[in-house]
Structure 1
């Protein structure tokens, strides 16, 4: 059931990302906001979204997905970080695949490339870590690095405003 709820949140995040608009101003953005795939060129993050489910009691965990998007013409590249952390705690911290308290989900975290109507998704992480700091309600600092089962390596950084949607 937990995986079903998580997958639903991830799909909702994808739909939210594709209909959201990037900001016209550069307030809060930084030249270090990028996604890098297989040590290629750094792709500028054009928008960011954070979707979260807040745990209602200690029997649940908080679940959030942070999605960073690069859009150029008809091509979209997207890194999604699915994280779990304990009830009644801040999301600030470092997440790994092996952690029991601050976990980076190996299956729901992913990298996706979309060109036109064709999409290729890379998930099933074999290595990964990310660090998250929530600076304010809609401002985040994120750095990450992960490797998928197919060998794709993805890393990046983001510091700035994101579209946020949270539910209990």
Structure 2
């Protein structure tokens, strides 16, 4: 038996043992990649005798045998360590300047409302204004929002795209927040 045949035999045995150890029937078919270069080990005499009595396998009929002796690329390293929870990506319509369809809490007792001039949300977002009386918060485009008051909290849901000016009275002044809805 030639040295090249022995190398192919070693690779075939290593692949067979590796697949058998991975779970058998539930295992996923491997990707069509080139086999790694064999190392300079000598196969056991029983393995040589077993393969010389049976015809050599040509591989999968849908995939031709490899033509070059290039080593296969190692599998990619995991991008996160095991046990680390996956994070969910932000909604596709969110940008750094514009938030997605989120609930934005605005507690008036804890917020310097003079510093808040504008916001940007996706359709479906809710602006929750906490600590205000009924009928005090107004919007200039009521057809773009759904507004509800309960127990000192005003929920403004942005149901259509557009620009809405939300006016909130505080300390005898009216503060307007321009909300862009995408």
Which category of TM-score, normalised to the shorter sequence, fits these structures?
A: under 0.3
Larger Rg: 2
In the superposition, the TM-score normalised over structure 1's length comes to: 0.25
In the superposition, the TM-score normalised over structure 2's length comes to: 0.23
Which is richer in strand?
1
Higher RCO structure (Cα 8 Å, ≥6 apart):
1
